[in-house]
Amino acid sequence: MSPMRQPVMTPSDGLPQRVRIWEVGPRDGLQNEATVISSGVKIAFIDRLSDAGVPVIEATSFVRPDRVPQLADGATVMAGITRKPGVRYPVLVPNLRGLESAVASDARDIAVFASATESFAQRNLGRSLVDQMSMFEPVLASASSRGIPVRGYVSMCFGDPWEGAVDPSGVVDVCWQLLSAGCSDISLGDTIGVATPGQVRTLIGLLERRGVELDRIGVHFHDTYGQALSNTLAALQCGVTTVDASTGGLGGCPYAESATGNLATEDLVWMLDGLGIETGVDLEKLVETSIWLARYLGKPISSRVTQALSQ
């Protein structure tokens, strides 16, 4: 008996016709790995993802090597990938120096990483919640002058390991500050994976009431408590059309030990295919990539879809 290779397509009313998958595996997925990963493997990983039809692939980051040593080869990776027409390859930068390094590597999309809570801002950025924008404003101004779009990640949107529950109105304030300073869009991060669908709907509703357009909102769920797909569906029901995911469910956060793996891209694509939502992603190629990477890393695959299809 062989497993079903595709879900039964059963469209549901009130959902988007198309969803943009923002693949974070090469950056967020690999940044916390203990195994030293060669530049060649990273380049092959990104090329495999573009060949599978993934439209946005976050390739690397340009942060201090001592902070995230796994991604110290960002320039080498950017020089080695085969850029497919129509595919975006954003990179994460923390400051102007990182932006200059990214531009020198021909990065055409960048992202900055903000916090919704005081505790995480202090631990991750070395700044207070009030002062964190002073890090981003010069980056946003410089990027704008070069015509480079900037995504604003907002971490700890739903729960914080040091502070507990997070006030959604404070999250909205941080998102509004980023957008007002020049971010083209934002990504709402459930960094420790504690969110539930009601929280997701509440936060998106508050952002809409503040005047944030749905097409400027992305969601980034970790699967610590097994809620990533249900939270994604809640976001889709609200009208969000950009979803972050990581092939194989890889990922975590170097500065929040309770942050476990991301939503697996294969699991997301299976659900979206079943709902009749277009992504442009080839599920079989994605599963093959996940199996290939897991063999290299020497660790089990957390994606349930890949586990099923690899039997």
Active-site annotation, residues: 253
Nearest partner of 24 among 49, 53, 52, 51, judged by Cα = 49
d(CA 196, CA 225): 9
Helix (H) or strand (E) holding 172: helix 168-181
CA contacts within 13 A on the Cβ side of 117? 24
d(CA 130, CA 87): 35
Report how far Cα 227 is from the mean position of its chain's Cα atoms. 16
> Residues 283-287: contacts with CB within 8 Å, 24+ apart?
283/6, 284/5, 284/309, 285/48, 285/51, 285/52, 285/53, 286/49, 286/52, 286/54, 286/247
Residue reference for tokens 């090469």? 26
d(CA 78, CA 165): 38
3-state secondary structure (DSSP) of residue 5: coil
Residue reference for tokens 């509703």? 205
Cβ atoms of 14 and 237 within 8 Å: the answer is yes
Report how far Cα 66 is from the mean position of its chain's Cα atoms. 22
Residues 6+ positions from 189 with CB-CB distance below 8 Å: 153, 154, 155, 156, 157, 220
Task: State the virtual CA torsion across 9, 14, 15, 18 in degrees, nearest 10.
Answer: 100
